[in-house]
Every structure is written in structure tokens, then in C-alpha cells.
Amino acid sequence: MKSLEQLTDSVFYIMAALTEPRHGYAVMNLVEETTNGQVVIGPASLYTIIKKLLNEQLISLHDDTDSRRKVYVLTEKGRDILRVDIKRRKIMVELAEKGLERRWE
């Protein structure tokens, strides 16, 4: 995530899950359940990405009373960046959908 313009899929999933306060394990579970097990975020990837999002101030520590399960949530900056990336992804999907709708023969 050297540039924030384009979020990787994993970063996108984690940020989407952190629109509400959640701890790491809850993020992992939510992503796995919503995608019917198609996307499983590994613990090392999850930890790396959470640290990076904290560093970039896209998420903040919401509650650390349980040191094993620290709770994070998106910051305003994080919400803005997520919105921009949603737009980018929508354009991508629309292009494909419209293309499939039009028959070229």
C-alpha cells in the first residue's frame, strides 16, 4: 500500500469490515462468512495490514481493554479513502457489466 489511491483487495475487505468497531478476529470471521469462505485473510496478513492502516491513520484504536482483542474502527480519513476506492471499483464493475449486456454481433 505504498500509494493509497488503489487499495488491494485484502486492504479493502479489512477497511470495509472496520466501518464498525471490530477486533482482528471478528474482521477475519466477517470476511470469511460474507464471501462464503472464498476469501480467507491469513493472520499474518491481517496483522500486517492493521499495523499499516494504523500507521497511515486510516483506522484508530477504539478499545484496548482486552489486550488480546484490540478493537479498531475507520477514521474519517479512512472513510474518505474507502469511498474513493468504492467509486474506482464501481467503474470497473460497470464497464464489465455494460460490456456483457451489449451483444456485439
Partner 1 sequence: MAQTKYLMSNGLAFSEQRDMETLRKKALKGWHLKGFRFMGYELEYGEPEDVIYSIDYRVLAPDEEAEYFDMFSSAGWTHVCSEYNTHIFKATPGTAPIYSDIESKKEKIERLAEPVKWIVPFLVGMTFVFWLLFTFSSGVVESISRWIFFFFLVLTIPALMTLFATYYHRWKKL
Interacting residues toward partner 1 by CB under 8 A: 1, 8-10, 24-25, 28, 39-49, 67-70
Q: Which is nearer to partner 1, 61 or 95 (CB)?
A: 61
Least distance in Å: CB of 94 to partner 1? 25
Distance, in Å, from the CA atom of 61 to the CA atom of 68, rounded to the nearest integer, reads 13
Cell of 4: 493509497
Residue with cell 457489466: 97
Q: Which is nearer to partner 1, 9 or 76 (CB)?
A: 9
Distance, in Å, from the CA atom of 94 to the CA atom of 39, rounded to the nearest integer, reads 22
Least distance in Å: CB of 99 to partner 1? 28
